[in-house]
């Protein structure tokens, strides 16, 4: 068994566990720093490890388009290519169907027929592709060169096989129209059909001994927005296919309130097999994560700590919750105190707020690097606290103090 639950919280659905992969074990609940293109922006792989990251997330779509999965396979797989010998998750490219099509070109999706959709690049947009989503998969056609790339459920499995990640995800489909029942229903059903195809391809490659990482796991993804019956339907259909674990997807893809996010989790998790690994895709804020742990989720990935670090936002831990601050703010221009005196990251132990403020104001890349480290250590430290609390049966205290106190 690749996932083992070690301890359960008595007052919530939280659990402490361990995920065993071909590249080592991961203690859960855990957070996956996002390294979409094979790098967690601005930091080295050895630094990630030093800060407590046990597993990272990379992206199938991005690595496929550049530098290409075949090159990475020739390099000996993603682990060797990027020199990270710990576990790697690869997202399937499903999110890009959403983010490169629907989300950014919502104004004029040209409906081809039924559920198939085409998104035309707008002349004034920087976005370089036309996107077509149909039953077979998604094609991205370059707006300038006309080059076409087609990502299908099978292709996604094949790419991830070439990458040799430890945990692969099936290609899924969801949209931003969380209120349109029929549309959501169609994406749930297509996600199931795609999951079956992905599973089949996965088994085929495995039995043929063609997988670069024979120990690779495959996770199914549950969709259904906030419709109770669709979430339940999705869980049942995806579970019936039988995966090594499950992801709850489509819960925080743009503007959802925390209530909506938690509701979507509550509608999904109770129907999942108890002893299987559960990843919550794309979530979230520190509070989101703690609340999701309480609802039975084992792992998380989110761009918040890294992206917001690049935009100057720093997270700070307090006994009764956390706060954030914008290091670019004028009030820090001459603040010679450390960013967070309780933090042990390099920036907090060696530099002042005034210096960080100066670095950001002058667009110096060191600022980005220092805040990325700071925020990642905050997130990874939070997960460590959660695990320790679960171990010491003190999780309720963490739950009580999970809020942003800004």
Q: How many helices (H) and strands (E) does the chain have?
A: 15, 18
* Catalytic-residue membership of 91: yes
Say if strands 313-318 and 137-142 run parallel, antiparallel, or are unpaired. unpaired
Angle among Cα 277, 175, 274 to the nearest 5 degrees reads 15
167 binds RNA (CB under 7 A): no
304 binds RNA (CB under 7 A): yes
**Residues 312, 206: Cα–Cα separation, whole Å:** 44
250 binds RNA (CB under 7 A): yes
Q: Is 388 in contact with 292 (CB distance < 8 Å)? A: no
**Residues 278, 244: Cα–Cα separation, whole Å:** 10
Q: Which residues does residue 221 pair with via DSSP β-bridges, in sequence order?
A: 247
96 binds RNA (CB under 7 A): yes
**Residues 249, 227: Cα–Cα separation, whole Å:** 13
**Considering the complex, what minimum distance in angstroms separates the CB of residue 248 from RNA?**
9
Stretch that binds RNA, among 15-23, 66-74, 125-133, 177-185 (CB under 7 A): 125-133
- The HSE-up count of residue 179 (CA atoms within 13 Å, CB side) is 1
In the set 91, 166, 244, 298, the catalytic residue is 91
**Considering the complex, what minimum distance in angstroms separates the CB of residue 3 from RNA?**
18
* Catalytic-residue membership of 9: no
355 binds RNA (CB under 7 A): no
308 binds RNA (CB under 7 A): yes
Interacting residue with RNA among 306, 315, 389, 398 (CB under 7 A): 306
- Please name the residue ranges forming H helices in 208-285: 228-241, 258-268
Closest among 112, 54, 129, 138 to 88, alpha carbons compared? 54
Q: Which residues does residue 17 pair with via DSSP β-bridges, in sequence order?
A: 5, 28
Which string of x and - marks every residue 47-86 that binds RNA (by CB under 7 A)?
----------x-x--x------------------------
Q: Is 143 annotated as a binding residue?
A: no
Altogether, the residues listed in the chain come to a count of 406
166 binds RNA (CB under 7 A): no
The footprint of RNA (CB under 7 A) covers 34, 36, 40-41, 57, 59, 62, 91-92, 94-96, 98-100, 104-105, 125-128, 169, 172, 174, 221, 223, 247, 249-250, 252-256, 258, 261, 281-285, 288, 301-304, 306-308, 310-313, 326, 328-331, 333, 361, 363, 365, 368
Q: Which residues are catalytic?
A: 91, 301
- In the annotated binding site for substrate, the residues are 91-95, 172, 223, 250
């Amino acid at each position: 068994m690749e996932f083992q639950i070690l301890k359960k919280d008595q007052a919530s659905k939280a659990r402490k566990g361990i995920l065993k992969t071909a590249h080592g074990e991961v203690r859960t609940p855990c957070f996956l720093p996002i390294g979409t293109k094979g790098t967690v922006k601005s930091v080295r792989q050895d630094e990630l490890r030093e800060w407590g990251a046990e597993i990272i997330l990379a992206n199938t779509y991005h690595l496929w388009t550049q530098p290409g999965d075949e090159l990475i396979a020739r390099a000996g797989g993603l682990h060797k290519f990027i020199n990270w010998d710990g576990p790697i998750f690869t997202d399937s490219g499903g999110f890009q169907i959403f983010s490169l099509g629907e989300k950014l070109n919502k104004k004029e999706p040209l409906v081809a027929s039924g559920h198939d959709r085409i998104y035309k690049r707008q002349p004034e947009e920087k976005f370089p592709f036309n996107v077509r989503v149909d039953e077979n998969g998604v094609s991205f056609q370059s707006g300038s060169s006309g080059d076409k790339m087609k990502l299908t459920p099978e292709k996604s499995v094949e790419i991830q096989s070439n990458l040799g990640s430890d945990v692969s995800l099936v290609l899924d489909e969801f949209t931003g129209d969380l209120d349109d029942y029929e549309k959501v229903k169609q994406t749930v059903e297509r996600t199931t059909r795609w999951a079956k195809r992905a599973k089949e391809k996965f088994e085929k490659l495995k039995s043929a001994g063609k997988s670069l990482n024979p120990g690779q796991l495959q996770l199914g993804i549950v969709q259904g927005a906030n419709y109770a019956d669709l979430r339940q339907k999705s869980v049942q259909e995806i579970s019936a296919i039988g995966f090594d674990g499950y992801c709850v997807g489509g819960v925080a893809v743009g503007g959802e309130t925390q209530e909506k996010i938690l509701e979507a989790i509550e509608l999904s998790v109770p129907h999942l097999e108890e002893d299987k690994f559960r990843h919550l895709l794309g979530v979230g804020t520190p509070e989101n994560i703690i609340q999701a742990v309480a609802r039975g989720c084992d792992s998380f990935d989110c761009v918040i700590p890294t992206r917001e670090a690049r935009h100057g936002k720093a997270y700070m831990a307090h006994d009764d919750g956390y706060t954030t601050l914008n290091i670019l703010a004028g009030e820090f221009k001459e603040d010679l105190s450390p960013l967070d005196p309780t933090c042990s990251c390099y920036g907090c132990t060696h530099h002042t707020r005034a210096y960080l403020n100066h670095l950001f104001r002058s667009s110096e890349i060191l600022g980005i690097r220092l805040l990325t480290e700071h925020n990642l250590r905050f997130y990874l430290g939070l997960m460590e606290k959660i695990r320790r609390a679960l171990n010491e049966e003190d999780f309720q205290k963490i739950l009580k103090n999970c809020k942003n106190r800004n």
